[in-house]
Amino acid sequence: MSRLVPLARFGDRLATGLLDVTSDPAALDSTGFWAVAADFEGRLTCARFRDVRHEPVPAPVPGAWHGPATDAWTSSLDRAAYTAGVRRIREHIAAGEVYQANLCRVLSAPVAPDADVDALTALLARGNPAPYAGTIRLPGHGVEIATASPELFLRRTGRVVESGPIKGTGRTEADLLEKDYAENVMIVDLVRNDLGRVCATGSVTVPDLCVVEKHPGLVHLVSTVRGELPADAGWPELLAAAFPPGSVTGAPKSSALRIIDALETAPRGPYCGGIGWVDADRGTGELAVGIRSFWIDRADGMLRFGTGAGITWGSDPEGEWRETELKASRLLAVASGAYEVSGGALS
């Protein structure tokens, strides 16, 4: 692991030359280029880098990534426990305690000591390209993440902020159900409320509602929520208002978080948190929701990956289990070497 130098990669932007690391969100309003990783449970890591350049994600190098065997993955919730959890959430909904809650499970598999998340990023870029793909590699600070996230958590351009919640997943548009559209609208209302806590009164709008987006192997329903920060609000206030992301918690958020804590048996970590970058000099930044993300836990030598589904009254337990399988299948295949590299491209 000692050979792994700190770096961050977001799209074709590569950051090297680590300067400092902090857990203080106020640093994001200071100076410099920062990589940001926020665990679902609240741990925040902000790493400032000296050198930032544009460089395409390199082609996968045969043998550079040593992934786990396809049958080595274990789940924090098995099929029986997950479907039982879905039924329990429906009971909470029937009791009027919550309208929707996201139920997740964490998959784990042993990984080689020399495993490098940046090599995994190169594979993901070919096998599962994503708009918010990235790497944060900080071995000395317990952060080694490769994400193929399709979902925007927060984008900031000066005072304007934007979120792009995803709710509704299917193999094709024809698979999307009335339940998916209702769930998306519900989460849009939650995100509007979150941004409304920090944005100027009357500035929060919804430019796009329930747009169908195509991604490798599946489609999503995506909406856009936008607002404007007042002069006295910055990244600390924005994160305090919006975190954790509404699309991976539920509505009302406080009730959903209590139910999630009771039903899930493993911490989510970077999964469902926020992963991305902030250019404090330019007043811009882009954080993805930490879905479709792998991370290495050196404490036990495990590679981890999270998957989940939003549960509503209209949810079918077996259908929600299948949705978690659909979201995970392609990425686990990439990480486990089911996609072979030949001549610098995936075959």
**Residues carrying an active site annotation:** 151, 167
Closest of 152, 147, 150, 256 to residue 195, by C-alpha: 152
Q: Which two tokens stand for residue 273?
A: 């948190």
Angle between helices 178-196 and 235-242 (to 10 degrees): 140
Within 13 Å of residue 190, how many CA atoms lie on the same side as its CB?
Answer: 29
- For 135-187, what is the HEC assignment? EEEEHHHCEEEEEEECCEEEEEECCEEEEECEEEEECCHHHCCHHHHHHHHHH
Position 157: which residue type?
A: T
Q: Within 10 A of 236 (CB to CB), how many other CB atoms are there? A: 15
Q: Distances in Å between the alpha carbon of 99 and those of 159, 243, 284?
A: 32, 19, 34
CB 109 within 8 A of CB 68: yes
Q: Within 10 A of 16 (CB to CB), how many other CB atoms are there? A: 15
